[in-house]
Amino acid sequence: MQKNANILRYQDAAAVLPVRLRKLALALGEAQQAQAEEFRLRAGWPMTVLLSSGETALDGVVEPEELETLCDLSTDFSRYAAAETIREGFLPVRGGFRVGLCGSAVMKDGVNTNLKALSSAVVRIARERKGVADVLAPELFRDGEFVSTLILSPPGGGKTTLLRDLVRQLSEGVASFGPRRVSLIDERGEVAVMVRGEAQMDVGPHTDVLDACPKAVGIPMVLRAMNPQIIAVDEITVREDLKAVSMACGCGVKLLATIHAGDVGELMKKPLYRQLLEDQVFRLAVRILCTETGRTYQVEELPW
User: What digits encode the pLDDT tens for the residues 284-300?
Assistant: 999 998 877 778 999 99
What are the pLDDT digits (tens) for 243-264?
999 999 999 999 999 999 988 8
- Phi first, then psi: what are they for 62, rounded to 5°? -75, 125
Neighbours of 70 (CB within 10 A): 24
The rounded distance, in Å, linking the Cα atoms of 166 and 131 is 9
Do 2-124 and 137-301 come out as alike in CATH topology? no
Q: What are phi and psi of 41, to 5 degrees?
A: -115, 125
Q: For the chain, give every domain's residue range.
A: 2-124, 137-301
> Euclidean distance between the first and final Cα of the chain, in Å?
44
- Percent of the chain clearing pLDDT 70 (strictly above): 99
Domain 137-301 has CATH 3.40.50.300: yes
How large is the average pLDDT for residues 201-212?
Answer: 95
Mean pLDDT, rounded, of the chain: 91
pLDDT value of residue 86: 87
**C-alpha dist (Å) from residue 93 to 46, 96, 153:** 23, 6, 26
Mean of pLDDT values over 202-224 = 95
Residues forming a β-bridge with 255: 231
For 130-157, how does the pLDDT look when each residue is reduced to its tens digit (9 = 90+)? 999 999 999 999 999 999 999 999 887 8
- Residue pLDDT, tens place only, 172-197: 999 899 999 999 999 988 899 888 89
Structure confidence at residue 1 (pLDDT): 43
**d(C-alpha 1, C-alpha 83), whole Å:** 38
Burial of 227 (0-12, 13-18, 19+ CB in 10 A): exposed
Q: How confident is residue 303, by pLDDT bands cut at 50, 70 and 90?
A: confident
Residue 43: CB atoms within 10 Å? 18
The count of residues in the chain is: 304
pLDDT over threshold 60, residue 2: no
CATH number for the domain running over 2-124: 3.30.450
The β-bridge partners of 93 are 97
Arithmetic mean of pLDDT, 265-291:
88
56 Cβ contact list (under 8 Å, min separation 6)? 28, 32, 48, 49, 50
pLDDT of residue 26: 96
CA dist 224 to 183, 218, 241, 245, Å?
Answer: 12, 10, 17, 14
Helix, strand, coil content of the chain in percent (nearest 5): 35, 30, 35
Query: What is the C-alpha to C-alpha distance for residues 284 and 111, in angstroms, rounded to an integer?
Result: 38
- Running DSSP on this structure, what letter comes out for residue 148? -
